[in-house]
Amino acid sequence: MAKPVERGMNRFYSVFAIIGVLGLGAIGYLALSGGKPVSIPVDAAILAADTAGFRGYLLGSDSAPLEITEYADYQCPGCQQFETLQFPQVKRQLIETGRVRWRYRDFPLDQIHPNARYAAHSAACANDQGKYWEQHRLIYEGQAEWSGMGNPIPVYERYAQQAGLNVADYSACMSSAKYAGRIQASHDEALRMNVGVTPTFLIGGRLYPGGMNSDALKRLVDSLAPVSPTP
């Protein structure tokens, strides 16, 4: 188990040096997706098209009385625990009932989670085919599989196939790094909001760092947007 990781890390450092020489400012490595290199840059230029009409990945009714923003990192263990253990209940109790609209924003912590930005881009590419939340769930559920890998790209591609994506189109999206600016814009928004840890929730104008369980979230929603009594 240790040897493949070691080889992956050797590739990481070798390619990182090449990228530095070329001045591309990318993190990670050149992983292969469909035979094409994948490199998602940090501090990518943010174009108007990266943010125009896009506030994050939304789930729930536009008319919900309360919006909750989650700033999260796909490689963060706490985020994985919230997504797999707590979010299904949050979805049933608060989102599907029309009480909350959920807004997910990427906040990859690159220094400690080198695969997080790649995972975020994988989910963004799935969104092109209307499968964002399916890929999002598979990436989180499989975190233990890909988190320590030197090259997680083939794993994300397998998830894309499981989610029912056109893999050729998905791979082309990954190779293009077309959503690097979108991810950077999301990351920078979190910094402006003084988010320091993941997951952090923005609820009613206040930050709640470190995550909450579904019961605590429900109590908070009840206090901020109580259900009107039935006449």
**For residue 140, what pLDDT is reported?**
98
Domains of the chain: 44-224 (3.40.30.10)
pLDDT in tens, 152-208: 999 999 999 999 999 999 999 999 999 999 999 999 999 999 999 999 999 999 999
From CA 65, how far away is CA 105, in angstroms rounded?
20
Percent of the chain residues topping a pLDDT of 90: 81
Cα–Cα distance list, 65 to 61, 98, 214 (Å): 9, 8, 18
Q: How confident is the model at residue 99 (pLDDT cuts 50, 70, 90)?
A: very high
Residue 149: pLDDT over 60: yes
Helix ranges (H only) for 86-179 are: 87-90, 116-127, 132-141, 143-146, 153-162, 167-176
Q: How confident is the model at residue 227 (pLDDT cuts 50, 70, 90)?
A: confident
**6 CB neighbour count, 10 Å cutoff:** 10
Identify residue 214 by its one-letter amino acid code. S
Beta bridge partner(s), residue 149? none
Residue 128: pLDDT over 90: yes
Residue 217: pLDDT over 60: yes
Q: How confident is the model at residue 11 (pLDDT cuts 50, 70, 90)?
A: very low
Q: If we measure between CA atoms, which residue out of 36, 27, 178 comes closest to residue 117?
A: 27
Residue 229: pLDDT over 90: no
Query: For 34-38, 57-61, 90-94, which range has the lowest pLDDT when averaged over its residues?
Result: 34-38
Query: For 41-55, 66-80, 90-104, 130-144, which range has the lowest pLDDT when averaged over its residues?
Result: 41-55
DSSP secondary-structure letter at 86?
I
Token pair recorded at residue 190: 């979190």
106 close to 230: Cβ distance less than 8 angstroms: no
Q: How confident is the model at residue 20 (pLDDT cuts 50, 70, 90)?
A: very low
171 close to 154: Cβ distance less than 8 angstroms: no
Token pair recorded at residue 173: 């999206």
**For residue 110, what pLDDT is reported?**
96
Beta bridge partner(s), residue 103? 58, 69
**For residue 34, what pLDDT is reported?**
53
Is 22 buried (19+), middle (13-18) or exposed (0-12) by CB count in 10 A?
Answer: exposed
Token pair recorded at residue 191: 């910094």
Residue 150: pLDDT over 50: yes
